[in-house]
Amino acid sequence: MEGGGGGVKHILLAKFKDSVSEDEVQELIKEYANLVNLIEPMKAFHWGKDVSIENLHNGFTHVFESTFENTDGIGQYIIHPAHLEFSSNLFLPSLEKLIVVDYKPTPLVHL
């Protein structure tokens, strides 16, 4: 794997629209998590809600992290029919705002 064994991380920060209920959010998260079973290059999925006490989240409430072996895997994921169906028809219409960042984790270098 690239990046010191951690693969490539696909991070999505999201703020759901106020009109989206907590039950709807939970259903969307379940469907997002299920993509790891449908899209081979997607190796892992984790998510969580902001718990920071610094109040620097700029309104973003949820973090979604997917792991891929390499950037080619992210490219395959982005155009996969299951991802396109989920993101275009369900997930993106439920969001007020989002940020997506892909990165390769760098191992800690001891000085």
Active-site residue set: 77, 80
Helix (H/G/I), strand (E/B), else coil: 64: strand
Token pair recorded at residue 2: 């690239």
Q: Are strands 8-16 and 95-103 parallel, antiparallel or unpaired?
A: antiparallel
**Buried-exposed string 75-98: b where 16+ CB fall within 10 A, e elsewhere:** ebbeebeebeebbeeebeeebeee
